[in-house]
C-alpha cells in the first residue's frame, strides 16, 4: 500500500514542501503568537513528526525564527509561515492553508481560546480548550 504525499507551498511559490498524509492531530490555535505570525485570528495546523516534512523546492529561501528545537519556518521571499517545529523538536505543525492538496485529517478542536481575538466569533461546535490539551 502506498502512502499519499501532500504538497504545500508559500504564497510566492519560491518554497515547496511535501509531507505524508499521516498527521497525528489537527487543531485551530488562537494563541497570540499564532495571531501575530499569521496576521489572522487563528492558525489551523496539523501535527506530524518533525522529520516528515521535506523541502522539495527553494530550501535557500526557508528562514527560521527561533532555535533548532522550537522555531517557525517561513519563506524569506514572501513571509508565508509554512510550519513550526515545536515540542522540543519532536513535531512539525504544518499550516493547513499552505497545503495545495487536501489532507484527510480535519481540525478536531480549538486551542488557546483564552487568547481568542475579541472581534472573532468561533462559529462551529468543535471542543474548545483554554490551552494545549494534554494526552
Average pLDDT rounded to a whole number, residues 35-61: 96
- What is the pLDDT confidence band of residue 18, given thresholds at 50, 70 and 90? very high
Output the nine-digit C-alpha cell for 71: 522555531
Q: With a cut of 90, say whether residue 132 has pLDDT above it.
A: no
- Cα distance between residue 109 and residue 44, in whole Å: 10
CATH 2.60.40.1290 for the 5-44+60-107 domain, yes or no:
no
Q: What is the pLDDT of residues 52-78, one digit of tens each?
A: 999 999 999 999 998 888 999 999 999
User: Which residues have CB under 8 Å from 4's CB, separation 6+?
Assistant: 20, 21, 104
Domain range list for the chain: 5-44+60-107
Whether residue 1 is predicted with pLDDT greater than 60 in this model: the reply is no
Note the pLDDT of residue 135: 57
Region 16-26 average pLDDT: 98
Average pLDDT of the residues in 34-38: 92
Collect all residues with Cβ–Cβ distance below 8 Å to 36 and sequence separation of at least 6. Answer: none
Amino acid at each position: 500500500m502506498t502512502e499519499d504525499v501532500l504538497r504545500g507551498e508559500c504564497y510566492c511559490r519560491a518554497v515547496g514542501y511535501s509531507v505524508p498524509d499521516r498527521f497525528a492531530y489537527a487543531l485551530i490555535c488562537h494563541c497570540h503568537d499564532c495571531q501575530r505570525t499569521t496576521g489572522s485570528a487563528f492558525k489551523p495546523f496539523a501535527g506530524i513528526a518533525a522529520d516528515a516534512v521535506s523541502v522539495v523546492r527553494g530550501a535557500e529561501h526557508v528562514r527560521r525564527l527561533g532555535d533548532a528545537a522550537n522555531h517557525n519556518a517561513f519563506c524569506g521571499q514572501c513571509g508565508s509561515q509554512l510550519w513550526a517545529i515545536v515540542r522540543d523538536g519532536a513535531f512539525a505543525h504544518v499550516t493547513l492553508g499552505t497545503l495545495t492538496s487536501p489532507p484527510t485529517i480535519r481540525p478536531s478542536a480549538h486551542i488557546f481560546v483564552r487568547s481568542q481575538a475579541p472581534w472573532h466569533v468561533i462559529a462551529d461546535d468543535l471542543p474548545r480548550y483554554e490551552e494545549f490539551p494534554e494526552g
